[in-house]
Amino acid sequence: MAKRYWGKTLLVGVLLTVLLLSLARYTTRELPFFSEVKSGLKDLTYPFARAVSFLWGGVSNVTQYFKDINELRREKDRLLQENTALKYQLNRLQEVERENLRLKALLGYSQEHPNYELIVAKIIERDPANWYKSFTVNQGKSSGIKKDMPVLDQNGLVGRMMNVAALNGEVLLITDPRSSVAAVTYQGRVPGIIKGTALSSELIMDNIPLNLEVRTGEKVLTSGQGGVFPAGIPIGYIVSVTKDPSGLVQVAKVRPYVDFDRLEEVFILKGSR
Amino acid sequence: MSNLKAMLYFLFFYIIAQTVFSRLAVNGVKPDLILILTVILSFLYGPPRGAFFGMQGGLIEDLFTGHFIGLNTLVKMVAGFLAGVLEGKIYPENWWFPGVIVFVLTFVKDFLYVAFLNLLGISITFTEAFGRIMPVEALYNFFLTPVFYFFFYRAVRGNKP
């Protein structure tokens, strides 16, 4: 009896495995039907995600507030009250300076690329799976956002719009293993393909021709090939270079400029390529 | 627990995972709430329903992901079945035990998932997956499980474990 049960279970298991793996193979590329389902689900859960994002911001502000108070108390023990007030003011000015630098960098980019418009987008939810790197932002079709639009922050390339719903859109990060970006090194102009590894702090640049020299520390930028990303967006810098196991090409490890774990808002590059 | 209720729990857990726990990543690694819920329900209901619960949870993940539909369904179904096999063999009053199952099944689930992804042409190296992601995720899941187990044990059995 038990033998029959396990036999039946095994048979069902094998059949389901074959069926589900075939379906997974079939949906390697996002099909319009599943894209619509996904957009619908995202729109459905959008109010909740937005509310949590808002609450989270509030909680962060409150915790930050208490941190500041403790900081001020410590300062008060050491310094005069006036000095403490000045330090607080200085902190605020530094914050403004940081913002100023960020906006200047963006302005610079906009001026260099007049065909593009930068749309600010706030991250409202992230993919909970560890093997995929994507997040959802609060800009969608209603703001004119379209699939494959590049996404960046002040430090460099973040990714591209993958799935755009009415009120929100999903960004596929360059660290996602499904992502690939045509890239080139800054000094040597060595071409390669940047691929994600599912790790936030590491990218792979492969398909580097064997006869070309790539140095560690060298900057890597988008090459503009492939038609998705415009040329010249910083991606990261080379950490190490090794020969591919096949022996035909070189592979480099690249550390991205963007701190993906701390991102809170990004900029979508809207405009002609 | 009805299948519809379980489906709603999975949906709720998925939304919580992508809105709250994705902001509480440790070293960039997030817990797998769907696995935790699958294991807890499977541990309380046995293998056939456990596998079905896993399928439900995995399907929700797949539909939200939009790619590779069926991968999470398959992997979570296997995890649910394996966790369900222990039903009736271990006293469910051992509140810490589901955490141990989740810890072990995190490795099994991730191994299967990464293997299938590689089969489908998405390259993720096992050394990095095992060395940098899985141990952190397994520990994170392990510590979170008792919190949810208390709630579900009480909802299913009517008393505390």
Q: Considering only CB atoms, which chain B residues are within 8 Å of A29?
A: 67
Confirm or reject contact between A18 and chain B (CB < 8 A): no
Domain architecture of chain B: domains with CATH: 3-87+94-157 (1.10.1760)
Nearest CA in chain B to A29: B67
| B11-42 per-position pLDDT tens digit | 999 988 888 888 888 888 899 999 999 999 99
Helix, strand, coil percentages for chain A (3-state, nearest 5): 40, 30, 30
Q: Is the Cβ–Cβ distance between A177 and A167 less than 8 Å?
A: no
Q: How confident is the model at residue B60 (pLDDT cuts 50, 70, 90)?
A: very high
Q: Which residue type occupies B82?
A: L
pLDDT at A204 over 80: yes
Residue of B nearest to A5 (CA): B48
Higher local confidence (pLDDT), B97 or A106:
B97
- Assign domain A32-273 one CATH number from 3.50.50.60, 2.40.10.350, 1.20.1420.30, 3.40.50.300: 2.40.10.350
For residues B38 and A247, give the distance between their C-alpha atoms in angstroms, rounded to a whole number: 44
pLDDT value at residue A85: 54
pLDDT tens-digit readout, A134-192: 899 988 888 889 988 999 888 889 999 998 888 889 999 999 988 889 999 988 889 99
Average model confidence (pLDDT) across chain A = 82
* A42: Cα separation from own chain's centroid: 18
pLDDT tens-digit series, residues A54-63? 887 777 777 7
In whole angstroms, what is the distance from residue A14 CA to residue A124 CA? 39
**Dist. CA A99–CA A97, nearest whole Å:** 5
Q: What residues have CB less than 8 Å from A166, skipping those under 6 apart? A: A39, A43, A140, A141, A142
**For residue range A17-57, what is the model confidence (pLDDT) as tens digits?**
888 888 888 888 777 888 888 888 888 888 888 888 788 77
Name the residue in chain B with its Cα closest to that of A123. B19
Residue A170 · residue A140 · CB < 8 Å? no
Residue A6 has pLDDT above 80, yes or no: no
Asked if A27 and B14 come within 8 Å (Cβ–Cβ), the reply is: no
Is residue A13 within 8 angstroms of chain B, CB to CB?
A: yes
**Closest by CA position to A130, among listed B55, B26, B56:** B26
Residues of A in contact with B10 (CB under 8 A): none
pTM for the structure as a whole: 0.73
Q: Where is pLDDT greater, at A122 or A90?
A: A122
A89-93, B51-55, B95-99, B116-120: least confidently modelled range = A89-93
CB atoms within 10 A of CB A163: 23
Burial class (CB in 10 A: 0-12, 13-18, 19+), A43: middle
Which residue of A53, A128, A178 is in closest CB contact with B122? Answer: A178
A89-112 pLDDT per residue, tens = 676 677 677 667 766 666 666 666
